Amino acid sequence: MSSDTPEEAPASALETQLLQLQTTFTQLWQKLKMPEPPAPENVVVCGTLYLGESLTSDTLANAIQSRVWFTYRSGFQPIARAENGPGPLAFLGPMLFNAIPNTTVGGVLDNHHFTTDVGWGCMIRTSQSLLANALQAATFGRDHVYAGPDSRLDALVALFADEYTAPFSIHNFIQVALELPLQVKPGEWFGPSAALLSIKRLCDRCAPSETPGFHVLISESCDLYDTEVEAHFARSSQPMLVLFPVRLGIDNVNAYYHSSLFQLLSLEQCVGIAGGKPSSSYYFFGFQDSELLYLDPHNLQAVSTDMETYHTTRCRSLPISALDPSMLIGLALHDLSDYSDLRALLGTTNKIVHFHKEPKRRKSAGDEDYVKVSMPELEGELIDDFVNISDQISDTEGGPEDAEPIVVEPSTELSVDASISKYDIVGHNDVV
């Protein structure tokens, strides 16, 4: 018995499979042709958390642009070559590579005067950025947003102008570094120890009534003492800039310290890190996931008073695993409550910064009961990262310099001797 209905079931099943296959292929092709944008990630900039923001968003662009950014400059007031120091022609390669603006051939070939810091000044520029952003937060508040020309901001940036009359100029950084114990000459690269001692000396020489500044405390051991901080704010309303010169490993930052670095960058008191890679120094101001965000000083610009040249919406990132272990960390304390908040936030969890009620008398190496400190957490890795680098200048107000730096009294602040360059990046070749 025949049926009038054709047998279409097998054909329908095949068509269905083909349609499903076509749909799947079309969806896959659309994804390949127009990939979905990456999901926004959380970003931290100078202690502020931005939830679900990408680096290209207007919010993050404004936050990045609000950082003060110092870079290589050309055409500045000449800096004389030091006796037995490098000459400008030693940096002819990077100068030609960067196509120096507003500089004549005669200026480029002048081997007696520096008129640009191309090839050697990146650590000074990142140190300027750290100090300038600290001053900006102290002057305008930590939530300051750059909104174009501002006479007050102009005045702050003018403190860093490339001339001898500006208190925080590259000229004066070099001038104080030429003094004992550093004796760093023009054209020689600054390490973290030279940078921090220059910051301290320049801030100490500024009259608070004339130039906004900080009381600079250098903690080469990364220890903070309640009595010292309390004593300062009891006698002065001047904010405190705490600088930590650290070496957190041998060739790279030890993973033991990664979370602690991110924690420090998450603090509103943090004003950034001057450090980078063995051949370059950057100004780090935040992070995204495991990537550190930084402003690059290796962008050559002509000397200018145009505020737009001191700001940028573009930043770069560096995996924390690629960070050189030598760096300079800055924390700004506006008042005693700032310190209390900092202590409460870090507590005993941070592996870099440590808090104590007061300094304790330390025994000399000749004492019989001398104790060698060890850190079993590092599982035998070399941890000889922190050394005493006591300065030859006094860090006290109205008190004599400690004749025996191994003994620290509660009323005496630690000072720094940057003649020991343990923290410095060795073999620097600042060529971009």
Per-residue pLDDT of 256-277, as tens digits, reads 999 999 999 999 999 999 999 8
Of 39, 47, 45, the closest CA to residue 295 belongs to 45
Average pLDDT for residues 376-390, to the nearest whole number? 37
Q: Percent of the chain beyond pLDDT 90?
A: 56
What per-residue confidence (pLDDT) applies to 388?
A: 36
Distance (Å, rounded) from C-alpha 122 to C-alpha 125?
Answer: 5
**pLDDT tens per residue, range 15-38:** 666 667 666 666 665 555 444 444
Structure tokens that stand for 11 in this block: 């054909």
Report the sign of the C-alpha dihedral through residues 126, 127, 130, 134, in that order. negative
3-state secondary structure of 48: strand
**pLDDT tens per residue, range 144-195:** 999 888 899 999 999 999 999 999 999 999 999 999 888 999 999 898 889 9
What DSSP assignment string belongs to 17-42? HHHHHHHHHHHHHHHHHSPPPPPPEE
Calculated CA dihedral for residues 152, 306, 214, 138, nearest 10 degrees? 50
User: How many residues comprise the chain?
Assistant: 432
- Does residue 122 carry a catalytic annotation? yes
Q: Which of 232, 298, 334, 428 is catalytic?
A: 298
Quickly state the pLDDT bin for 390 (edges 50, 70, 90): very low
- Specify the DSSP element, H or E, that contains 49: strand 48-53
Q: Which of 122, 203, 270, 315 is catalytic?
A: 122
- Does residue 298 carry a catalytic annotation? yes
What is the pTM for the complete model shown?
A: 0.76
- Does residue 232 carry a catalytic annotation? no
Q: Which of 46, 215, 232, 296 is catalytic?
A: 296
